[in-house]
Amino acid sequence: MERGKLLYEGKAKQVYATADPDLVIQHFKDDATAFNAQKRGTIESKGVVNCKMSEIFFTFLEGRGVRTHFVERLSDRDMLVRRLEIVPVEVVVRNIIAGSLAKRIGRPEGEALPNAILEFFYKDDALGDPMINESHITTFGWATRDEIAQISELALTINRHLVEFLDERNVLLVDGKMEFGRHKGAILLGDEICPDTCRFWDKNTRERLDKDRFRRDLGGVEAAYQEMQRRVSS
Ligand code: C5P
């Protein structure tokens, strides 16, 4: 499938049209940003790792009956996906306290939560992706009541499957961000699932195997991404 016109360019990915109006190509770049693009850099081979890792997660989830936008991986950095009308809401699921939740409620990172927490953020870079709730989502028409109910259930289901998959590979899924979109009347999981969008900790050492190594200047960024790819590939 040939790349057509560039439809969208984000911080870490580009989206290209194809000859089929229902399909687009998602291209993974090495560019990395954090703190709403105030910190910028590149993580060598990140695009290749995230493309491959997302393929593995999407294929696993499809096998568990979760509908995703994934069709096939075309090359190291290109993935053919179903074209979605994106719901402009970032859905974050949390299993362990970390990141912005730790700051917001003033508790240390690392405390396991008794149940998964679901949070919504309005997808708007200029506003810094502010936190919102279901009432904002339905009032401003970003999704209907029925869609947000479906998205919430899907996010929690996906989280349960990923926790199980990763546990078998000695990895804790601390939290993760998901995006959903509409395709021919159905809600599908979109975007990517990788160390840019999830916090992965080694189960025994709690070593961080994700983008926090870049965000917090911890070093060993590329090695952590490679290690995660190795674990999910087994
Ligand atoms: O920063 P925060 O703790 O809210 O992030 C929660 C999860 O969502 C983390 O896994 C982070 O990688 C992900 N995230 C993301 N894109 C954003 C914000 C958060 O992938 N814009």
Q: How many A from CA of 168 to the centre of ligand 1?
A: 23
Q: How many A from CA of 182 to the centre of ligand 1?
A: 22
Ligand 1, CB cutoff 6 Å, lining residues: 90, 92, 98-101, 129, 175-177, 197-199, 211
Tell me what pLDDT residue 202 has.
98
Nearest to 202 by CA among 160, 166, 176, 165: 166
The model carries a pTM of 0.97
Q: How far apart are CA 23 and CA 69, in angstroms?
A: 9
Per-residue pLDDT 10s for the chain (234 aa) are 899 999 999 999 999 999 999 999 999 999 999 998 999 999 999 999 999 999 999 999 999 999 999 999 999 999 999 999 999 999 999 999 999 999 999 999 999 999 999 999 999 999 999 999 999 999 999 999 999 999 999 999 999 999 999 999 999 999 999 999 999 999 999 999 999 999 999 999 999 999 999 999 999 999 999 999 999 998
Tell me what pLDDT residue 229 has.
98
Q: How far apart are CA 182 and CA 146, in angstroms?
A: 13
177 Cα nearest atom in ligand 1: 8
36 Cα nearest atom in ligand 1: 21
Q: How far apart are CA 95 and CA 118, in angstroms?
A: 9
Q: How many A from CA of 206 to the centre of ligand 1?
A: 18
Q: How many A from CA of 198 to the centre of ligand 1?
A: 7
**SS3 assignment, position 8:** strand
210 Cα nearest atom in ligand 1: 12
Tell me what pLDDT residue 95 has.
99
The answer to whether the beta carbons of residues 27 and 12 sit under 8 Å apart is no
175 Cα nearest atom in ligand 1: 10
Q: How many A from CA of 92 to the centre of ligand 1?
A: 7
Tell me what pLDDT residue 1 has.
83
Protein residue with least CA distance to atom 20, ligand 1? 197
Choose the residue to mutate in 162, 175, 196, 200 for probing ligand 1, maximizing ligand atoms within 8 Å of C-beta. Answer: 175
Q: How far apart are CA 15 and CA 96, in angstroms?
A: 32
CA angle in degrees (0–180, nearest 5) for 111-115-118? 100
